[in-house]
Structure 1
Amino acid sequence: MSENQPADPHSERVKDATAAETEAWKQELEEMEQIAQERRDDGWEVLTMSAGHTNTVSRDGDADEQFGICHIVPDSDADAFAEFYDEESFTEYLVYGRPIEAYLYLVTELIDPVNERAVLIAGRYNRMYADGMISDANEEGVLYTHVQKINGTVVGSFEHETYGPLIGEPEEPGVAE
């Protein structure tokens, strides 16, 4: 790009000038692995996944539409999740996260306490696009976490009756159950 050409607005938008976002993502992944290792040390079976992209999905006026936090993962991770996860057995969750600039970085731990299994999902979403999802959650009194393949197929969902930490409003220091 020459000095006389204006900067590409897309490039300017995606720049991480302070490296805060890059560092936050790196820290989330490290924390996820630490939590996973602690569970494994206690004898738990653990599946970890890193979302390639995380969306906040609202109903947009369609009461039949799913809403919530949608983690889009590679097909291999989605397949592993589908084999590992059982909606009936995974009855608890914890959230570890922090807001950094416009984003909420989080690790969601879905827990099967009876069989001592856990799924840890690292993701981040732009809070500027979450208003519709939050409105739907407040209206319904629940929020959902969805794991989805790249082609849009949802392979599993979890209902959160307490969802403050998932939207950046910790009920207890960043952790909810």
Structure 2
Amino acid sequence: MHDDIGAADPGSFRRRDPQGVQTEAWKQTLEDTEAIAQERRDEGWDVVTVMAAHTDTVSRDMGEDDRFGLMHVIPNNYVETVTDTFDSDEFTEYLVYGTEIDGFMFVVTELIDPETERSMLIPSRYDIARADGMITAAEDEDALYTHFKTIDGTILGTFEHDEYDPFIAGNA
């Protein structure tokens, strides 16, 4: 990876992390994910962790539909885990663990199926500077959505969160 990637096109610029603050925050997010998973397993729950290849904020004005929220792009090696585990009728509860660090939100989303004691954890991070449209839609609808899609754009599932504050900087 080159340090000057995006230098010619400011729109494609990726923020650098010279002090390693974001790198450490991501490591902590992964450690938190594993700690939550272990705690649930110790209580007898079935837990899966889904690693997204990328997480982005989406707003209504970005596509052909009215989708907004966090869009997790699921790599092929996790697609089967999502399709075998997630069912929006069974996963009816959630917990969100989020913190703002250096202009990014680092979030662990836990989707919960209380009936069968199953939990699905999704660690993620998103750029706060690109979240205005998502935040506006969440405030307008008083809800936020977690979406899962494949790299080719196929939607695997959607979960509605009736509280969005834990996902948003300054409110987590």
Q: Bigger radius of gyration, 1 or 2?
A: 1
Q: Does 1:76 align with 2:77?
A: yes
Letter in 2 for 1:8: D
Q: 1:10 aligns with which of 6, 18, 22?
A: 6
Structure 1 stretches of 5 or more lacking a match?
Answer: 1-6
SS at match of 1:50: coil
Structure 2 stretches of 5 or more lacking a match?
Answer: 8-12
Please give the alpha-carbon distance, in whole angstroms, between the structure 2 residues aligned to 1:25 and 1:59. Answer: 28
SS at match of 1:78: helix
Please give the alpha-carbon distance, in whole angstroms, between the structure 2 residues aligned to 1:20 and 1:27. Answer: 11
Tell me if the contact between 2:100 and 2:170 (Cα under 8 Å) persists in the aligned partners: no
CA RMSD in angstroms comes to: 1.9
After TM superposition, the score normalised by the length of structure 2 is 0.89
Please give the alpha-carbon distance, in whole angstroms, between the structure 2 residues aligned to 1:23 and 1:165. Answer: 21
Tell me if the contact between 1:36 and 1:120 (Cα under 8 Å) persists in the aligned partners: yes
Tell me if the contact between 2:50 and 2:81 (Cα under 8 Å) persists in the aligned partners: no
Tell me if the contact between 1:78 and 1:147 (Cα under 8 Å) persists in the aligned partners: no
Q: Does 1:32 align with 2:28?
A: no
Letter in 1 for 2:130: Y
Aligned to 2:10: none
| Structure 1 stretches of 4+ moved >6 Å | none
Q: Does 1:67 align with 2:63?
A: no
After TM superposition, the score normalised by the length of structure 1 is 0.86
Please give the alpha-carbon distance, in whole angstroms, between the structure 1 residues aligned to 2:5 and 2:150. Answer: 30
Identity, in percent, stands at 48
Please give the alpha-carbon distance, in whole angstroms, between the structure 1 residues aligned to 2:32 and 2:79. Answer: 21
Residue by residue over 1:111-149, the C-alpha shift from the partner in whole angstroms, topping out at 9 and shown as x without a partner, is 011110000000000010000011111111211001111
Q: Structure 1 residues 113, 64: CA separation in 2 closer, same or farther (over 3 Å shift)?
A: same
Aligned to 1:22: 23
Please give the alpha-carbon distance, in whole angstroms, between the structure 1 residues aligned to 2:64 and 2:75. Answer: 28
